[in-house]
Amino acid sequence: MELLLLLVKIIITIALLWLVSTLLQMCDAQILKPRRLRSILRKQGIRGPPPSFFLGNIGDMKKMKSSASKDQQKEEQAITHDCSSALFPFFDEWRKSYGSLFMFSLGNKQILHMNDPEVVKEISICTSLDFGKPSYQSKERGPLLGQGILTSNGATWAHQRKILAPQLYMNKVKGMMDLMVESSMKVVSSWRTESEGGVEDFHIDEYMRRFSGDVISRACFGSNYSKGKEIFLKLRELQENMSKKFFSNGFPGMRYVPTKSNRETWRLEKEVRDLILKAVEEGKEAASGNDLLHMILEAASNSGFSQDETDRFIVDNSKNIYLAGYETTAVSATWTLMLLASNQEWQARVRAEVVEVCGGQMPDADMIRKMKTLTMVIHESLRLYPPVPVVSREALEDMKFGDIHVPKGVNVWILLVTLHQDLDIWGPDAKEFNPERFANGASGACKLPHVYMPFGVGQRTCLGQNFAMAELKILLALIVSNFSFSLSPKYRHSPAMRTVIEPENGVNLLIKKL
C-alpha cells in the first residue's frame, strides 16, 4: 500500500513538473520572448502599433481591412492600380505614423516592415543561410507551400535548390515551347468557336487556369498528365482553404486545433500527398524521363535522402511547382489581359509586333525573344500586380542590415506592392499603366531597379521565372494575334489577397475574332 502511494506521488510530481515546464515554455513563447524582441527593436528607435495580448495586431488589421472594404463598396468602381491601399490599408496607416521601418505582431510573431530601398538592397544581396523562410510559413502554411524547398532550414533549402536548379528549369524552357503553343491554341480554339461572327462576353479566369494547369501538368507528369490535373484541382481546393487563414497564421498553435477549416486542410493535405506518390509509382515505368517529376525523382535519388525524406521532397516540390508554375502564371495572364483590354493603344502595339515577328507562324523560342513590346507590357503588369505581394524572411540567427540589428526570431517583410508604386522611385506616374518605362529593360525602368522583384529577391529568386515568362509570351501572343478585346461592363475592379493577388470577381472581356 505504501509502495502504491509512493508511486502515485511520483506520478503526480512528474505530471506537475511537466505542467509547470509546459506553462513556463508557453509563457516564454507567448509573452517573454516577444517582449524581449520588441525591447531590442525599441532600443534602436524602431516603433510600431502596440500589440494586444495573444493576438498582437491581428485585431487592428482585421478592423482596418473591413473598414476599407466598406468604403470601397460605397465608392464608384473605378480601375485604380493602388493595390497596397486596397489590400493592406493597415500598412498605409502605420507608415504614416512610423515611417517605412516599423514593427508589428501577428500573434506572438514579431514582424519588421522594412521598405527602405537601401535596406532592401542589402537584403537582396544577402546570401546567408541564416536569413531564411519564416518558420510560421513552413509550419502554418506548410500543407500548401511544402516544407522542403521552402523550409526555414537554410542548409536543406540550399541543398535542394542546388540539385533542382540545373535540372528543373535551365534546359527545360526551350524543349517545352511546342507544349506551351499547343495549350495556348486550346484557349484560342475555344474562343474562336464560341465568338464566331461577333463579340462575346467571356469570363477568362478559368481559361487561364486551364491553360496554366495543362502546361504544368504535362511538364510535370508527362504522359500521365491527367493525374497531374487531378492533383492540381486538389491543390486548388487546398489553396482556397488556406487563403481564408491569412489573419490566423500568427495565432499560437492554431494549426493544431481541430477546427472545421483545419480538419478540411488535413484531409486535403493527405489526399494530395497520396495522389502525388501514386502518380510517382505509376510514372516510374514511363518510357520518357524528360518530365519534371522524373527530374525531381532523379534529384532525390542522387541526394542521399531516406525513403521518408524522398517522399516529402517529391510531395513538397510538386506543391511548390503548383504555386510557382500554375497559380501565379494564370493570375499574371489574367491581369495582363485586363490591362491590355483597358489600354487599346498598347494592345494594338503588341498585336503589330507579334504579327511582324511571327509572320503568321506559331511562336518559337527565337520569336519570343524578339517581342520587346510584349515583354514591356508583362513587366508593367507584374509591377502593378505582383502575384506574391510580400517577400518575407526570418532571422534564424542575429542579423544586421545597415545600422539595423535584427535579432534571431524576428521576421522581415518587404511589401512589393508598395515598392513597385513608390512615386520617389518610379516617378509621378508610378500608379499608372505605362509599359514604356521598361523600354530599356527592368534595369533601366526606375531610379532603383533592385526594388523591382516580382519573382522574388536575391538567391531565393524564383527558379521558374524563365519558364513563366515563356508561357505568358506565347499565350498572350496567340491571343492578341487572333482576337481584339475590351473590358466588359460586367467587370468590377477589386484586387483580392488570397494566396496570390487575384481579381476578386474575375475578369470579363468582350472578345471579337480578327
- Walk along the chain (514 residues) in steps of 10 and give the mean pLDDT of each run: 77 83 74 87 94 87 80 65 89 92 91 91 82 64 36 41 48 73 92 69 92 81 69 74 57 63 79 80 60 70 74 76 75 96 97 94 92 97 92 90 91 93 93 95 87 76 76 96 94 86 93 90
Q: Are strands 101-106 and 483-487 parallel, antiparallel or unpaired?
A: unpaired
pLDDT in tens, 354-377: 999 999 899 998 999 999 999 999
Q: In whole angstroms, what is the distance from residue 165 CA to residue 325 CA?
A: 14
Rg of the chain in Å (alpha carbons): 25
The confidence score (pLDDT) of residue 417 equals 92
Q: Are strands 390-395 and 199-203 parallel, antiparallel or unpaired?
A: unpaired
The confidence score (pLDDT) of residue 447 equals 86
pLDDT in tens, 49-92: 999 887 889 888 988 888 777 666 555 567 889 888 888 999 99
Q: In whole angstroms, what is the distance from residue 105 CA to residue 112 CA?
A: 9
Q: Are strands 508-513 and 483-487 parallel, antiparallel or unpaired?
A: antiparallel
| Angle of CA points 183, 230, 245, to nearest 5° | 105
Give the residue from 386, 416, 406, 411 showing the smallest Cα distance to 138: 411
Q: In whole angstroms, what is the distance from residue 228 CA to residue 508 CA?
A: 28
The confidence score (pLDDT) of residue 114 equals 92
DSSP per-residue codes, 215-250: HHHHHHHGGGHHHHHHHHHHHHHHHHHHHTTGGGTT
pTM comes to 0.84
The confidence score (pLDDT) of residue 166 equals 46
pLDDT in tens, 202-261: 999 999 988 988 887 777 776 666 766 777 777 777 776 766 655 555 455 566 667 777
Residues 378 and 437 sit within 8 Å (Cβ to Cβ): no
Q: In whole angstroms, what is the distance from residue 351 CA to residue 373 CA?
A: 9
Beta strands in 141-300 (DSSP E): 199-203
Q: In whole angstroms, what is the distance from residue 363 CA to residue 357 CA?
A: 8
| Residue extent(s) of CATH 1.10.630.10 domains in the chain | 154-337+462-514
CATH superfamily of 154-337+462-514: Cytochrome P450 (1.10.630.10)
Q: Which three cell numbers stand for residue 168?
A: 528543373
